[in-house]
């Protein structure tokens, strides 16, 4: 199933944290380019009603057969799902309930089965398989990226439909609704949201279900895969969310950290729980000096809480940041973020299999003219400024070329994080 589906789209299913980062990178870069070149972008975030519990078994087995799964494995899976039931005990009276639909929650193979069924639904539609030589891209689904048309992203049951205009997005959404009904999936109209930038039309998107028209709500921001996206591609609201998550993570372990007497073990616990909460998704951040200072200040406050010193006590004792760092022994947050961003940038640029993450990073809209004026800061600007090799004003070797050489890039990471 993995082999078959990876041929159809490069961002289909969740496997590792890198898959998560690929989609976050894509969304941020897409909004970044739309803001810089004034490209209208409409994104529809799909939500299913009880996605894993509503799949029709007949449609599931047919999907596996269509995707080339051996009949022996299909028969084995059927045996696992035959005569399934669950038991509930209201008022001490056990009640046995047969299970006739859906896939097992918590089963390691369930995401694969769900994705196979969803793949079958997408194969019935016309717009995921547009030919790349189609001329009228302005009136066709998706966004044209370096000669290829990208219409949607899939991360298990989290789906994004992408289009230039809401009118086309509405047609795409309606076709998806009709196709998903054939496999037992129902789209939740109240939780499905539309995110569009200021250059897109304000046309209201509707879907028809059971002869009833439902309007899809427009939002200014949306949390997707743990990352807050907004129409302005502004990172500040996401930084606020990360700060709250970091404090919540520290409060959850404060009893343990207070009981620990070994600073090294306490620091390892902090770096493995609190620091990732503060820097989640930082590989895709477009980091300004003001935002980096906010992260540093938040981390310093977390450090003081860890070692049991208030800001007033720090000032009275004339302790500097370096003194607190010696006491806490935790990692520097900005160096940690820099290392993660450089590692991710190298990983993206070394891929040569035409995956969307790499194509999007190299994407420059050829038919769009950038307006006059200095553009907002982009994700790759810091890499261009700090890593690209120049001789005077002449560019000798761009950062993207250096990143393709693993040994050179490892040396760059060490030089910028030590």
348-381 tens-digit pLDDT:
899 888 888 888 888 888 878 888 888 888 899 9
Tens-digit pLDDT profile for residues 184-194: 899 999 999 99
Supply the pLDDT for residue 137: 59
CB 278 within 8 A of CB 257: no
Average pLDDT over residues 192-199: 95
SS3 assignment, position 399: helix
Spatial separation of the C-alpha atoms in residues 305 and 311, rounded to whole Å: 9
Q: Give the pLDDT of residue 360.
A: 87
Distance CA 184, CA 305 (A): 51
Instruction: Look at residue 136 in the predicted model and tell me its pLDDT.
Output: 58
Which 3 state secondary structure label does DSSP give 358? helix
pLDDT at 130: 56
Among 150, 139, 200, 209, residue whose Cα is nearest residue 174: 209
Q: Is the pLDDT of residue 251 over 60?
A: yes
pLDDT at 135: 55
Residue 261 pLDDT greater than 50, yes or no: yes
Cα distances (Å, whole numbers) of residue 14 to 156, 296, 340 = 6, 31, 20
Q: In the predicted model, is pLDDT for residue 13 greater than 70?
A: no
- Give the residue-averaged pLDDT of 64-70: 89
Q: How distant is the alpha carbon of residue 405 from its chain centre? A: 26
Please give the DSSP secondary-structure letter assigned to residue 366.
Answer: S
Instruction: Locate the DSSP E strands across 47-176.
Output: 85-88, 95-98, 143-145, 148-150, 152-155, 158-163
Determine the Cα–Cα distance for residues 102 and 335; give it in Å rounded to an integer.
Answer: 45
Q: Which of 41-55, 119-133, 301-315 has the lowest mean pLDDT?
A: 119-133
Confidence of residue 8 (pLDDT cuts 50, 70, 90): very low
Burial of 383 (0-12, 13-18, 19+ CB in 10 A): buried
Lowest mean pLDDT among 6-20, 32-46, 296-310, 316-330: 6-20
Band the pLDDT of 386: cuts 50, 70, 90: confident
Arithmetic mean of pLDDT, 18-39: 82
E-strand spans in 221-362? 221-224, 227-230
Mean pLDDT over 334-347 rounds to 93
Question: pLDDT tier at 2 (50, 70, 90 boundaries)?
Answer: low
- Average pLDDT on 2-31 reads 61
CB burial of residue 38 (10 Å; 0-12, 13-18, 19+): middle
Distance CA 281, CA 337 (A): 9
Q: SS3 for 19?
A: helix
Using the CB atoms, write b or e for 177-209: b if 16+ within 10 Å. bebbeebbbebebeebbbbbbeebeeeebebee
Please check the confidence at residue 131 and state whether its pLDDT lies above 90. no
Name the nearest CA neighbour of 67 among 16, 102, 112: 112
Question: What's the pLDDT score for residue 1?
Answer: 61
- Work out the number of other CB atoms within 10 angstroms of the CB of residue 133: 6
Under DSSP, the state recorded for 90 is: G
Most confident of 23-27, 87-91, 173-177: 173-177
Model pTM score: 0.86
Q: pLDDT tier at 220 (50, 70, 90 boundaries)?
A: very high
| The pLDDT value given to residue 405 | 93
Asked if pLDDT for residue 12 goes beyond 80, the answer is no
Task: Give, rounded to a whole angstrom, the gap between the first and last alpha carbons of the chain.
Answer: 43
Distances (CA, A) of 104 to 1, 66, 113, 116, 166: 18, 22, 10, 15, 36
Does the structure show a pLDDT above 60 at 9? no
Q: Which residues lie below 8 Å from residue 89, measured CB to CB, with a gap of 6+? A: 95
Nearest to 267 by CA among 277, 256, 278: 256
Question: Which of the residue ranges 45-59, 131-145, 380-394 has the most confident prediction, judged by mean pLDDT?
Answer: 45-59
How, if at all, do strands 206-209 and 148-150 pair?
Answer: unpaired
Q: Are 150 and 214 in contact (CB under 8 A)?
A: no
* Best CA proximity match to 4, nearest among 77, 65, 68, 74: 68
Chain center to CA of 255:
32
* 134, pLDDT greater than 80: no
Residue 388 pLDDT grade (very low, low, confident, very high; cuts 50, 70, 90): confident
Residue-averaged pLDDT of the chain? 87
Q: How many beta carbons lie within 10 A of that of residue 87, not counting itself?
A: 8
Classify each residue of 340-369 as buried b or exposed e, where b means 16 or more C-beta atoms within 10 Å of its C-beta: bbbebbbbbbeeeeeebbbbbbebebeeee
């Amino acid at each position: 199933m993995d082999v078959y589906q990876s041929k159809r789209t490069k961002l289909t299913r969740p496997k590792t944290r890198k898959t998560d980062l690929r989609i976050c990178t894509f969304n941020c870069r897409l909004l970044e380019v739309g803001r810089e070149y004034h490209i209208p972008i409409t994104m529809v975030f799909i939500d299913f009603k009880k996605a894993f519990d509503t799949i029709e078994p007949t449609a599931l087995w047919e999907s596996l057969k269509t995707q080339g799964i051996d009949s022996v494995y299909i028969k084995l899976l059927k045996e696992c799902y035959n005569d399934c039931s669950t038991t509930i005990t209201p008022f001490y009276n056990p009640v046995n309930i047969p299970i006739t639909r859906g896939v097992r929650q918590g089963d390691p193979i369930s995401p694969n089965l769900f994705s196979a069924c969803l793949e079958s639904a997408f194969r019935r539609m016309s717009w995921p398989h547009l030919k790349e030589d189609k001329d009228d891209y302005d009136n066709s689904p998706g966004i044209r990226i370096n000669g290829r048309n990208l219409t949607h992203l899939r991360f298990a049951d989290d789906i994004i439909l992408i289009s230039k205009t809401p009118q086309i997005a509405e047609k795409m959404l309606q076709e998806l609704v009709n196709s998903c009904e054939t496999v037992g999936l129902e789209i939740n109209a109240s939780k499905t949201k539309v995110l569009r930038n200021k250059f897109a039309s304000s046309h209201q998107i509707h879907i028809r279900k059971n002869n009833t028209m439902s309007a899809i709500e427009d939002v200014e921001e949306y949390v997707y895969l743990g990352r807050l996206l907004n129409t302005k591609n502004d990172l500040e609201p996401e930084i606020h969310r990360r700060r709250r998550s970091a404090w919540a993570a520290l409060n959850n372990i404060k009893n343990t950290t207070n009981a620990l007497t070994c600073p090294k073990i306490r620091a390892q616990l902090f770096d493995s729980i609190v620091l990732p909460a503060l820097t989640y998704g930082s590989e895709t951040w477009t980091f300004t000096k003001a935002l980096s200072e906010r992260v540093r200040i938040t981390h310093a406050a977390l450090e003081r809480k860890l070692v049991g010193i208030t800001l007033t006590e720090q000032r009275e004792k004339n302790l500097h940041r370096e003194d607190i760092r010696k006491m806490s022994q935790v990692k520097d947050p900005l160096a940690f973020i820099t290392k993660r961003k450089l590692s991710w940038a190298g990983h993206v640029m070394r891929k040569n299999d035409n995956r969307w993450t790499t194509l999007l990073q190299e994407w420059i809209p050829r038919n769009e003219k950038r307006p006059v004026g200095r553009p907002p800061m982009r994700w790759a600007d810091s890499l261009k400024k700090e890593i690209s090799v120049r001789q005077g004003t002449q560019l000798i070797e761009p950062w993207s070329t250096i990143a393709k050489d693993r040994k050179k890039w490892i040396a760059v990471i060490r030089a910028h994080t030590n």
